[in-house]
Amino acid sequence: MENSIVKLRGYKDGLHLIITPKVDLVEVETAINKLLEGMNQPLSGTSIHIDLTTSPLTSDDMKELETYLTENYDLVVSGVNILDENDESPILAAPATHSIAPNLQADDQPDFGQAKIVRQTIRSGQTTSCLTGSVLIYGDVNPGGEVVASGDIIVLGALRGNAHAGAHGKLSSVIIAMELVPLQLQIGTYVNRPPLGQKSRGYPEIARVGAEDVIIVEEFIKFN
């Protein structure tokens, strides 16, 4: 569970660890441990940004924190943003949940019940999309291929390219594949970039937005 010291959020540029501490490094690390250990999907190999407001943490503390994240959770810190508490930050100010884009009025929202069926493999350089519902693919999505849907994306094969479900902001959308080894997953505005060279786990998987407002991937058995 998240707490008042640390939060984990997924945004268009990736995963952000947001720290708003009034405490020392030990308490920050304890809060991070509680947050990450409570997640049902490991983030090993994930690249993250650290966003924090002015705090008691020194530059040496930050170096130690980066080492802590790398050694204990195999996280790659790609950047650190240190902000004054009075600064306006598009990341820190962003809401934890999102709604359908404002230009989609209630009477002209797309029908998410409509689906597009694709009976072929999506090859490198090809894009298939359905902005009125879900996409079902009888085949693979190769590296360099892309699938975009306003609803769900289901691949009855290997997903090795890019997939963007919930393109109009529907965060309940999911991405399912028999082999889920993508270059990038996106649901609504949340992005997940798995580590390069990730291998198939040998069973169907589902990607969805979890309770921590990040995309999680887990074994797919059936819908509840």
**For every residue of 180-209, which 3-state class applies, written as one string?**
ECCCEEEECCEEECCCCCCCCCCCCEEEEE
- Chain segment 135-162, per-residue pLDDT in tens: 999 999 999 999 999 999 999 999 999 9
Whole-angstrom distance, CA of residue 160 vs CA of residue 175: 12
CB atoms within 10 A of CB 124: 12
Taking only the tens place, the pLDDT of each residue in 119-135 is 999 999 999 999 888 99
Say whether pTM exceeds 0.85.
Answer: no
Q: Please determine, for residue 87, whether its predicted confidence score (pLDDT) is greater than 50.
A: no
The model's confidence at residue 98, banded by pLDDT at 50, 70 and 90, is very low
pLDDT band at 108 (very low <50, low <70, confident <90, very high): very low
Q: CA 160 to CA 109: how far, in whole Å?
A: 30
Tell me the fold of 6-83: Transcription Regulator spoIIAA (3.30.750)
CATH 3.30.750.50 residue window(s) in the chain = 6-83
Q: CB–CB of 186/198 below 8 Å?
A: no
Mean pLDDT computed over 70-80: 82
C-alpha torsion sign, points 129, 130, 135, 139 = negative
Distance CA 81, CA 34 (A): 22
- CA pseudo-torsion sign 59, 61, 66, 71: positive
- Residue 79's CB: how many other CB atoms inside 10 A? 12
CA atoms within 13 A on the CB side of 144: 4
Radius of gyration of the chain (CA): 19
Concatenating the DSSP letter of every residue in 25-75 gives HHHHHHHHHHHHHT-SS--TT-EEEEEEES-S--HHHHHHHHHHHHHHH--
CA separation for the pair 52, 65 (Å, rounded):
12
Residue 101: pLDDT band by 50, 70, 90 thresholds?
A: very low
The residues with which 163 forms a beta bridge, in sequence order, are 147, 185
Rounded to an integer, what distance in angstroms lies between the CA atom of residue 127 and that of residue 13?
A: 21
Residue 103 CB: number of other CB atoms within 10 A?
Answer: 7
CATH of 106-219, one of 2.160.20.70, 3.40.640.10, 2.40.50.100, 2.10.10.90: 2.160.20.70
Q: Residue 49 — very low, low, confident or very high, per pLDDT cuts 50/70/90?
A: confident
Q: Cite the residue boundaries of each domain of the chain with CATH code 2.160.20.70.
A: 106-219
